[in-house]
Amino acid sequence: MQRVVIVTGANSGIGLALCERLLTEDGQLRLCLACRNMQRAEAARSALLASHTDAHVDLLHLDVGSVQSVLAAAEEVKARYSRIDFLYLNAGIMPNPQVDVKAFIKGLFSTNVINMFATAQGLLTQQDRVNSDGLQEVFATNVFGHFLLIRELEPLLCQAGQTSRVVWTSSSNAQRSAFSIEDLQHVSGSEPYSSSKYASDLLSVALSRHKSDQGLFSSVICPGLVMTNLTYAILPSFLWTLIMPIMKFIRIFTNTFTLTPFNGAEALHWLFLQTPESLDPRAKYHSLTSGLGTNYTQPRPMDVDDEMSEALYSELLELEKVVRRKLSERNADD
């Protein structure tokens, strides 16, 4: 049976690299690129079809940071497909990242240099803002939009006699210290990206607990340090020119510097080949690359607990009700 795979944020970086690897693995896939920028999505589709001429590649307009867009996209998915085998939640934003230059220079000459590059812990802050739905933009894009998409697609994801998979692209920057259940949207903090990625870790655990008996299994991956548009936006280009030789040298001594989108997609591709029952819902599956360039996947326990993941799940269900009510009122006024 032809499998249906949807990838959000599929027009570049890790998402596009994953699509290339999936089509190489199974040319009979029905692959759907769910993207915000349709011009870039069409270019990605053309690139994939150039190397996989017989592939089935669909496009879907989806801005996970917009409730209206998520709901419209979900309706289109339900009209197109009768099932979903894999839903890769890869889209994400890190707006206007700022670097603590003093901490960065200090870290370069410390024993913490590898961890600093791998996680950016303590180095990055971001400027968040409120979107048109009244939600914090990073939270809306990285967490709530994907949660709402899953909720809308449950009829296709939770079907009798079928198993479906949800896979979240998280980060080593997902830190418990950045997250607060009392401030889900990270209104009061300065690390919305880290908070949102930790929230996705928690949410994945909760989804597996609530939905695995209905055939829906959720997993989390970390792509390692990958040079993508998100990464390059952190520092001015001239600094990357200076730093890249250092990073390539450090890569000899660590396996977390995957660097390329192809390498970063290793865990995403690896999960495609596994049975859901063999996976640990409390593990984060890391894409790793050895100093000799060998790619592999390794599970590592996540710093999450059931009480907090359950609390987040409940809060998101309540927020969903509020957002839907506000949207309904807004549409009625129009």
Active site residues: 193
CA 125 to chain centre: 19
Q: If you write DSSP's letter for every residue of 160-183 in order, what string do you get? A: TT--EEEEEE--TT--GGG--GGG
Contact predicate 169/14, CB 8 Å: yes
Q: Cα(182)–Cα(315) distance, rounded to whole angstroms?
A: 10
Neighbours of 51 (CB within 10 A): 10
Three-state secondary-structure class, residue 193: helix
- 265 and 181 Cβ atoms separated by less than 8 Å: no
Can you read off the two tokens belonging to residue 225? 């340090």
The residue among 44, 59, 52 whose CA lies nearest residue 28 is 52
Alpha-helix residue ranges (DSSP H) falling in 11-80: 13-25, 38-51, 67-80
Question: Considering only CA atoms, which of 86, 27, 74, 84 is closest in space to residue 52?
Answer: 27
d(CA 54, CA 275): 27
Tokens for 151, please give them.
């909720």
**Per DSSP, what are the bridge partners of residue 220?**
168, 284
